Amino acid sequence: MERPDAREMLYEGKAKQVFATDDPERVIVRYKDDATAFNAQKRGTVAGKGEVNNAITALLYPELEDYGVPTHFLARLSEREQLVRRVRIVPVEVIVRNRAAGTFASRYGVEEGLALDPTVIEFCLKSDALGDPPMNAATAVALGHASEDELEMLFDLAAGINDYLLARFGVAGLELVDFKLEFGVTGDGELVLADEISPDTCRLWDAETGEKLDKDRFRRDLGGVEEAYHEVRRRLEATVGQPLDLPEPDDEHDHHHDHEQRALHLDLEGEEPHDA
Ligand code: TMP
Ligand code: ASP
């Protein structure tokens, strides 16, 4: 792909900047080394984090596309930049939890590491000012943040993404504890996975030792933050193309919210999956 030029900055977030290109449907995302936690009350930098998170997202999103998940990702342009489809971000963060940790463990008074069956999928309002408060489906619809159909699609997409990522990180010797997803709507109305998937947005524990290899090292001042991010990248790159232990596709496409893990190849209300 010809490298598009970055034009004016459209948006700057805590960890990324977004630039216009000459194509109104495409923007460039630039990954920064800045790190924040606890709603930006804690700030710092992690040297090389932008490069690592760009590389990990650029590795995982095309794999997810192949699995049937539509994403905003188009191409990695440089160490820190990627080209993505321009979307309107849905202000609903989707958190998937395979094990208790973080705010879930403290909210319910359970040990970190407790296995959760069924997998827990939570919605939060994307609002730094309000601290991303948890929100049930009725609240999201009543406040106009998403439609019921959109929430159902977010739920099904998140469950399918979890199936894939559990297997994908698993083959890299990493336990996927929990993670956060953001979705967007493209100019032609397609709901796609947006944002990033990285040690900033996932909890990843070494499958053998339980060592934390994610942003909790920064949040909790555990040291070795850069090394952990590099280790996740190294393990993912070392396991590209290895066979994955994925669940069987469920061809009944049942939509009741039983939180059962489904393989993807999505039947999104009858729409064709997006071709990569
Ligand atoms: P939590 O335990 O703090 O609620 O976080 C759950 C998961 O979501 C964890 O993997 C970190 C990720 N996360 C983000 O990526 N961004 C956020 O703003 C928050 C609150 C969590
Ligand atoms: N990224 C979020 C913040 O800055 C929360 C977190 O990841 O802990 O506040």
pLDDT in tens, 201-218: 999 999 999 999 999 999
The verdict on 132 and 253 lying in the same domain is yes
CA of 37 to the centre of ligand 2 (A): 4
CA of 125 to the centre of ligand 2 (A): 14
The verdict on 173 and 124 lying in the same domain is yes
Range of the domain at 147: 89-225+246-265
Mean pLDDT of 180-206: 98
The overall pTM is greater than 0.85: yes
Q: Which of 14, 31, 36 to mutate to test the pocket of ligand 2 (most atoms within 8 A of CB)?
A: 36
Q: What is the predicted pLDDT for the residue at 250?
A: 65
Give the count of domains, the chain: 2
Which residues of the chain form beta strands (DSSP E)?
A: 9-12, 16-20, 26-31, 34-37, 42-45, 73-76, 81-85, 87-89, 92-99, 115-125, 174-181, 183-186, 191-193, 202-206
The verdict on 255 and 133 lying in the same domain is yes
Q: Is the pLDDT of residue 276 over 50?
A: no
- Between 258 and 167, residue with greater pLDDT: 167
pLDDT in tens, 76-97: 999 999 999 999 999 999 999 9
CA of 219, nearest ligand number = 2
CATH number, domain of 174, equals 3.30.470.20
Q: Which of 70, 86, 102 is the last residue of a domain?
A: 86
The verdict on 138 and 250 lying in the same domain is yes
